[in-house]
A = this chain, B = another copy of it.
């Protein structure tokens, strides 16, 4: 590869493993900020979280910040850089579909604004819930979803309905012009090209745990 070709290389998309680690750095960094520390090294972060220092540096590099030898990274700057990179500084309005126990819990978790998410409305089919509010978020009829999503230019939809209803919920969100879906239903959603789906399925995480545990116990 010539030098010119090297210069022309397109910017690589951020690896997903990197994206998943960044929030973990962020939590640690916010903790360190409280303690009054001004800077932190990749070595320290790595030891604290059980990663490799080079990996931490490479991850941080994606966010666009530069460190300095001997001292490392400025904590405040690094926090800002990660939040910026994840787009957690621009609070995005979102719809939540399904106000069962998980949906209710999510509406009750007051911190999503720290992660760039703001629930402006929730939707449900249950007549008992429509018209009420859950933790200050109004619950509306599903029939209003498409039109309202269009008018409000909503980009993110969160699906917390049971599996059988998930595809229909997704279809409505997409019809309403949604760009990204955070799916908690244990099912694979079929969506047109251009619509992002992130599956937050707990069972995936649980699978890792139960398998490894069984493995560990079998070795006792």
Instruction: Give the residue name and chain of the B residue nearest to A187 (CB).
Output: B27
Name which of A49, A163, A201, A202 has the most chain B CB atoms within 10 A of its CB: A202
A-B contact list, 10 entries, CB within 8 Å = A13-B215, A19-B207, A23-B201, A23-B207, A24-B199, A27-B203, A28-B188, A116-B210, A179-B213, A180-B209
A212 interface contact, C-beta 8 A = yes
A76 interface contact, C-beta 8 A = no
User: Distance in Å from the Cβ of A91 to the closest Cβ of chain B?
Assistant: 10
Expressed in whole angstroms, the Cα–Cα distance for A88 and B217 within the complex equals: 14
User: Distance in Å from the Cβ of A129 to the closest Cβ of chain B?
Assistant: 15
Expressed in whole angstroms, the Cα–Cα distance for A153 and B184 within the complex equals: 31
- Interface contact B206-A115, CB-CB below 8 Å: yes
- Interface contact B198-A209, CB-CB below 8 Å: yes
Given A116-B210, A194-B216, A200-B202, 11 more A-B residue pairs with CB atoms under 8 Å apart are: A19-B207, A20-B207, A23-B201, A23-B203, A24-B204, A27-B163, A31-B187, A88-B210, A100-B108, A155-B217, A182-B209
Interface residues of A in 113-171 (CB under 8 A from B): 115-117, 155-156, 163
Q: Give the chain B neighbours of A100 by CB distance below 8 A.
A: 108
Select one of B179, B200, B201 contacting A216, CB under 8 A: B179
A65 interface contact, C-beta 8 A = no
